[in-house]
Amino acid sequence: MKNNEPLQNIKNKELTKRKLVQAVGEIIKTEGFVALKSASKVARIAGVDRKLIGRYFGGLNQLIEAYVVENDYWLLFTEKINDLIKSNNYPGSKDLITSILQNQFTYFFL
């Protein structure tokens, strides 16, 4: 059984990281971004020890960053958006993209 322990620990680590990222999302969706002030709150919602936030992510800010990078699909399409704006094939695309990004900022800011 001891040979399986490292594999089990890796699985638990990834599961714990997943729970923490999901807890950040849950807080943002239910209470807004401003409610992400406490690592203890995130850990409580995830059902894990708050020390794991530091161990796995380096701190609450890095955990929040991991959530945003993972869930912010605009980051994934930045190059495509820039190409669309530069091509100017679609009149009004720059205004549309600007509006979408401003609304996204407002969502996270409030």
What pLDDT, in 10s, does the model give residues 54-77? Answer: 999 999 999 998 898 887 656 656
The predicted pLDDT at position 1 comes to: 43
State if pTM tops 0.85.
Answer: no
Q: What per-residue confidence (pLDDT) applies to 75?
A: 60
pLDDT at 9 over 60: no
Residue pair 66/21 in contact by the 8 Å Cβ criterion: yes
Summarised one tens digit per residue, pLDDT across range 17-58 is 999 999 999 998 899 888 998 999 999 999 999 999 999 999
> CA quadruple 61, 66, 71, 77: dihedral positive or negative?
positive
Give the residue among 22, 62, 56, 71 at the shortest CA–CA distance from 42: 22
User: Which ranges of the chain would DSSP assign to H, the alpha helix?
Assistant: 5-31, 39-46, 51-57, 60-71, 73-76, 78-87, 93-109
pLDDT given for residue 68 in this prediction = 82
The secondary element (H helix, E strand) that includes residue 35 is none
